Structure 1
Amino acid sequence: HALAQAPITALVHAAGVHDDAPMAGMRAEQWHGVIDLSLHGFFHAAQPLLLPMARARFGRIVALGSVAARLGNRGQTNYAAAKAGLEGAARSLAREMASRGVTVNVVAPGIIASPMSDAAFTAEHINALVPAQRAGTPEEVAALVAFLCSDAAGYINGQVIGVNGGMA
């Protein structure tokens, strides 16, 4: 029962979805679906934890963004807008919660090896897009997320940190 009473001290918001189309042909449902999941999802996941984290004077919130928020991507105006909005929300929330020992940061991956990216990008395409000339690994992203959730990252707040092999 003691474990059930323990406060939540870290939130990793990793929700995101693609529903790609050029904006000229994008349906309103495609726009709203991607925006709603990223931004409303962040609100609904983080907001109930804020007062308990503030009372505990400790909390870590890490949202998964994307290099697309900074660079844009053809056919992904909805996705880039959602991730850019997430960056703004995280920066603002970081300012609101900093004096209470709660940090809020964004990890913004680039091309990360996965079945989806493996299908979308050839080795030649990755070499042209990524200065490191390789896709990142999920473990490289997870290592940064774990660090940002640790005690050692207490003074890192309101930051967007890329894991992108030099793309941005």
Structure 2
Amino acid sequence: MGKNYALVTGGSRGIGKAIAIKLASDGFHIIINYRSNHTEAEITLNQIIEAGGSAELLPFDVSDLEAVQSALDSWQEKNPEAYIQVLVNNSGIRKDALLVFMKDEEWSDVLNTNLNSFFYVTRPLIKNMLLKKSGRIINMVSLSGLKGLPGQTNYSATKGGVISATKALAQEVARKKVTVNAVAPGFIKSDMTADIDEKEHKKLIPMNRFGKPEEVADLVSFLASENSSYITGQVISINGGLYT
């Protein structure tokens, strides 16, 4: 029995790190992608290995088509027998601003990192999933993509785009036993929400608390498993009842 490989983009910290650690404990060999934070990526790698898991680092910028192609091609050349069975598109950035004040790069950077990256990373990997008739694509989206949040027109646009892409792609590949789902976290304690006033915001949440990255990771673990084989094209919210 060969290894099962899972690629987690933006896997060095926050929700991505929790997902990488959880999938490693499920028996996947984890390919941890990150852009520049080598220190955090090493810490995540070491945590997985110390816990008896198996992982490697694969740095590239998900928003750069050539960088993505070059990194994935070179990984495949080194691992000719392997294929990536689970892809978690988790990389994302926020550059919040009211639209009237939004700079060109605040729009384009968020679009490239959060939406174009879905296309850049998924397209090369889905071919093998279809050939092998087995695959899981899990896209990390957001409450912002479902509800829309003021100051996040750029972020909401990208997450809404990935949600629609999830539903369309799921229909293209379902016959080949490849599932495509999205996970929409609400407020989760992570780097991404470090600048958000938890005391104020938790009043909006019926459960009266922020979520933990590990809770999101458990849901991703289920979607990556055989147990979720009849679930595809879905957006599953994990938000403490904040918005349904």
| Band of TM-score, shorter chain | over 0.9
Q: Distance in 2 between matches of 1:116 and 1:25?
A: 21
SS across alignment from 2:84: coil
Moved more, 39-48 or 118-127: 118-127
2:162 matched to which residue of 1? 86
Kindly provide the amino acid, as one letter, of the partner of residue 78 in structure 1.
N
2:205 matched to which residue of 1? 130
Work out whether 1:161 is the aligned partner of 2:227.
Answer: no
Work out whether 1:141 is the aligned partner of 2:216.
Answer: yes
Q: Distance in 1 between matches of 2:191 and 2:93?
A: 15
Deviation at 1:125, TM superposition (A): 2.4
Decide whether aligned partners of structure 1 residues 116 and 158 sit closer, same or farther in structure 2, where only a CA change above 3 A counts: closer
Deviation at 1:118, TM superposition (A): 4.1
Work out whether 1:26 is the aligned partner of 2:96.
Answer: no
Q: Distance in 1 between matches of 2:118 and 2:106?
A: 18
Q: Contact between 2:198 and 2:210, CA under 8 Å: does it hold in 1?
A: no
Deviation at 1:114, TM superposition (A): 2.0
Q: Distance in 2 between matches of 1:12 and 1:124?
A: 31
Picking from 36, 61, 64, the partner of 2:137 is 61
Alignment RMSD (CA, Å): 1.3
Summarize deviations over 1:42-61 as a string: whole Å, max 9, x none.
11111011121011100000
- What stretches of structure 2 of length at least 5 have no aligned partner? 4-78
Q: Distance in 2 between matches of 1:142 and 1:45?
A: 20
Q: Distance in 1 between matches of 2:152 and 2:140?
A: 17
Q: Contact between 2:206 and 2:241, CA under 8 Å: does it hold in 1?
A: yes
Deviation at 1:122, TM superposition (A): 3.0
What TM-score does the superposition give when structure 2 sets the normalisation length? 0.66
Kindly provide the amino acid, as one letter, of the partner of residue 140 in structure 1.
E
2:176 matched to which residue of 1? 100
SS across alignment from 1:120: coil
Kindly provide the amino acid, as one letter, of the partner of residue 241 in structure 2.
G
Kindly provide the amino acid, as one letter, of the partner of residue 54 in structure 1.
L
SS across alignment from 1:62: strand
Moved more, 107-116 or 51-60: 107-116
Percent identity of equivalent pairs: 43
Deviation at 1:12, TM superposition (A): 0.3
SS across alignment from 1:55: helix
- What stretches of structure 1 of length at least 5 have no aligned partner? none
1:112 matched to which residue of 2? 188
The number of residues matched between the two structures is 166
Decide whether aligned partners of structure 1 residues 115 and 31 sit closer, same or farther in structure 2, where only a CA change above 3 A counts: closer
Deviation at 1:119, TM superposition (A): 3.3
Decide whether aligned partners of structure 1 residues 96 and 26 sit closer, same or farther in structure 2, where only a CA change above 3 A counts: same
Deviation at 1:15, TM superposition (A): 1.1
SS across alignment from 2:195: helix
Deviation at 1:115, TM superposition (A): 4.2
2:111 matched to which residue of 1? 35
Kindly provide the amino acid, as one letter, of the partner of residue 57 in structure 1.
K
